[in-house]
Amino acid sequence: MKPSPTYLDYAATTPVDPDAARAMSECLTSEGDFGNPSSTHLYGRAAAARIAQARAQVAALVGADAREIVFTSGATESNNLAILGAARNSAGGGRHLISARTEHKSVLDPFRRLEKEGFSVSWLTPAGGGRIDPQAFAAALRPDTVLAALMYANNETGVIEDVAAIGALCRERGVAFHCDCAQAVGKVPLALHDLPIDFAAFTAHKLYGPKGIGALYVREGARGLLQPLIYGGGQERNLRPGTLATHQIVGFGVACEVAARELPVEGPRIERLRKRLWQQLEALGGTHLNGGAAPRVPGILNVSFEGVHGEALVGALSGLAISTGSACSSESPEPSYVLRALGRNTQLAQSSLRFSLGRPTGESDVDRAAAEVAEALTRLRALSPARAPEADEVAAPLVSGEAGGPGADTWVRFHLLIAGDIVKEARFQAFACPHTMQVAAWLCGALRGRRRQGLIPGTPDAWAQEHHVPPEKLGRLLVVEDALRACLTHWSEALEYGDR
């Protein structure tokens, strides 16, 4: 049986803590506290008591009062409730908003929705170190600014923003300030009462609680700044109606209690592991630490690697469960704006990995990850077009052709060893995604024995169907075709060289 990959993606989600899972199971069956917490009978009161306890546990972890915790389905809903609820509630007093281009999608998309509703948004860009400059934030404030949102810790780099300074600027101007704390809660000490924050979003599944439950901190006194997004039974101070999911809330509460207990030990331990991993990766050469000049949460390490494509690198790391550091998806080849803001070029931004460590992570996991990355880097860098062929790889007559180039998303080069008009052998080099590499490797086999006339076997459309390449990546196969056409262009030159 093949061993499971080493999990280093705790910033994406975490397994449920056993104590939290046990507490959840106590609220599911007829033997437990399964009642509707809105009911006044014994079963309802028992469930309500469990929820009250959980609310206190959550509040204790974040340094808030239990009355300031509003349960939601997760950080996405919490962000939407804070942003849409505060902006729409304040629209009569102003329609200017401030956020950063490096926010999570659950912050960016509500702001874009508000732009369609007639609000104006100032989109800030982080400085070279990865943080929003408080002076740049101050310069963006206007008399009609009603809301600003800035994350506590970046989900790609782990960089911690100066929310105290920025929140103070908001407080001075009477601007509501929302903070996405999903990557911070349970990872670093947090005392919301000591910070000039009006609203803060977080979620259970980032701190060893269940998925589908989160919370919005609503500062006492800031309740009047919000209007609900949905309407119903009046639960959660009329901000988030609906029957409360007792089992999920109870699991959330226990997870927060465990996190508060473990944080003094786990924070330093995970930071040591992060440093250990970086030392090994740095020794590989051509590596760049993203966000290293700024304070960061302990468990996130974002590294860019020279000479390899990020998608190909992740594909080669079958023994690791990690994320690319890029915010792009398979539908969009655009590199992470976060990493571009740190000064990384397109290739470095795309060839980045986010390692995120958690409670189960040990030294052996970190060492195994570093060893697997080293092996994959060696293999992929040997295929990179940036590497000049070795002397024994260059034979005459040899036809070479390439398309793309340094800085491009896809860069492919073919080397064809020819005899007259026939291909004897074919090799390729590529900075490309796994699908493109697969097609290029297949073509090298298909090219052997082919004549100059009719060199290219089929079309990119046919290759995509044959190798199950997603339609959105067809453009990358056009680069492969262009590289073969470049070989045809240089064929006569190669024959002349071989006759000398």
Identify which of 208, 217, 287, 187 has the alpha carbon closest to the alpha carbon of residue 69. Answer: 217
Q: Could you list the residue range(s) of the whole structural domain that residue 356 is in?
A: 289-382
Given a contact cutoff of 8 angstroms between Cβ atoms, the answer to whether 56 and 249 are in contact is no
Average pLDDT over residues 389-396: 57
**240 and 138 share a domain?**
yes
Which CA distances in Å does 124 have to 4, 49, 183?
Answer: 41, 44, 20
Note the pLDDT of residue 327: 37
Asked, for residue 75, whether it belongs to a domain, the answer is yes
Pair (249, 179) in one structural domain: yes
Q: What proportion of the chain, given as a percentage, has pLDDT over 70? A: 94
**In whole angstroms, what is the distance from residue 341 CA to residue 154 CA?**
13
How far apart (Å, rounded) are the C-alpha atoms in residues 478 and 500? 34
Q: Which has more pLDDT, 287 or 389? A: 287
Alpha helices in 117-153 (DSSP H): 134-140
> In this predicted structure, what is the pLDDT of residue 400?
92
* The pLDDT of residue 87 is above 50: yes
* Cα 91 from chain centroid (whole Å): 32
Number of domains in the chain: 3
Least Cα distance to 118 among 143, 97, 142, 149 occurs for: 97
Q: Which residue has the higher pLDDT, 325 or 54?
A: 54
**154 dihedral zone (left: phi>0; alpha: psi -120 to 50; beta):** beta
Rounded Cα–Cα distance for residues 293 and 348 (Å)? 17
Grouping H, G, I as helix, E, B as strand and the rest as coil, residue 410 is coil
308 in any annotated domain:
yes
The pTM for the full model equals 0.89
Residues 86 and 201 in one domain: yes
Cα–Cα distance, 210 to 13 (Å, whole number): 10
Report the sign of the C-alpha dihedral through residues 175, 176, 182, 184, in that order.
positive
Task: For residue 2, tell me if it sits in a domain.
Answer: no
160, 210: one domain: yes
Among 382, 416, 433, the domain boundary falls at 382
Are 241 and 317 members of one domain?
no
- Report the C-alpha gap between 250 and 245 in whole angstroms: 9
pLDDT of 499 higher than 70: no
Same domain, 361 and 402: no
- Average pLDDT along the chain: 92
Q: What is the model's pLDDT at position 255?
A: 98
- Measured CA to CA, the distance from residue 281 to residue 429 in angstroms comes to 24
Give all strands of the β-sheet with 422-431 in edge-to-edge order: 398-403, 411-419, 422-431
Q: pLDDT per residue over 290-346, tens digit each?
A: 998 899 999 999 999 988 888 888 889 999 999 875 433 334 456 677 787 777 877
151 and 180 Cβ atoms separated by less than 8 Å: yes
- Tell me: the pLDDT tens digits for 220-267? 999 999 999 999 888 999 899 999 999 999 999 999 999 999 999 999
CA dist., res. 303 & res. 348, Å (int) = 9
Determine the pLDDT at residue 325.
56
pLDDT at 392: 54
Distance CA 162, CA 250 (A): 32
Evaluate whether residue 341 is within a structural domain: yes
Same domain? For 193 and 112 the reply is yes
Nearest to 131 by CA among 161, 101, 168, 167: 161
333 with 311: CB under 8 angstroms? no
- In the prediction, which pLDDT does 390 show? 60
Read off the CATH number of the domain in which 348 is found: 3.90.1150.10
Provide mean pLDDT across the span 45-66: 97
Q: Are residues 339 and 213 in the same domain?
A: no
121 and 248 inside one domain: yes
Last residue of a domain, one of 241, 260, 279: 260
Q: What is the pLDDT of residue 395?
A: 57
- Answer whether residue 78 shows pLDDT above 50: yes
Angstrom distance (rounded) from CA 365 to CA 402: 39
Is residue 480 within 8 Å of residue 412, measured between CB atoms? yes
Specify the pLDDT at position 334.
Answer: 62
pLDDT in tens, 139-156: 999 999 999 999 999 999
Asked whether residue 115 carries a pLDDT value surpassing 80, the answer given is: yes
The answer on 349 and 433 residing in a single domain is no
Distance of CA 384 to the CA centre of its chain: 26
Assigned token pair, 107:
């912050």
Compute φ and ψ for 126, nearest 5 degrees: -65, 155
Same structural domain for residues 300 and 374?
Answer: yes
pLDDT surpassing 50 at residue 172? yes
Q: Which residues pair with 176 in a beta bridge?
A: 147
| DSSP label at residue 128 | T
The two tokens of residue 316 are 């080669």
Amino acid letter at 79? N
Where residue 344 falls (left for φ over 0; alpha for ψ -120 to 50; beta otherwise) is beta
Residue indicated by tokens 């590596």: 287
Best CA proximity match to 33, nearest among 12, 61, 54: 54
Same domain, 231 and 301: no
Which sign does the torsion angle of CA 467, 470, 471, 473 carry?
negative
Residues labelled catalytic: 328
Q: What residues pair up with 400 in beta bridges, in sequence order?
A: 415
Q: What's the CA gap between 22 and 26, in Å, rounded? A: 7
In a domain, 272, yes or no: no
Domain assignment present for 8: no
CATH number of the domain enclosing 440: 3.90.1010.10
- Let me know: does 43 contact 33? Beta carbons within 8 Å: yes
Can you point out the beta strands (E) in 383-478?
A: 398-403, 411-419, 422-431
Residue 183 near residue 356, CB atoms below 8 Å: no
Cβ-proximal residues to 393 (8 Å cutoff; 6+ apart), any chain: 415, 427
Q: Which tens digit of pLDDT belongs to each residue from 189-198?
A: 999 999 999 9
Residue 338 included in any domain = yes
Question: Concatenated DSSP letters for 20-84?
Answer: HHHHHHTTTSTTSS-S-TT--SHHHHHHHHHHHHHHHHHHHHHT--GGGEEEESSHHHHHHHHHH
- Asked whether the beta carbons of 82 and 199 are under 8 A apart, the reply is yes
Residue 147 lies in a domain: yes
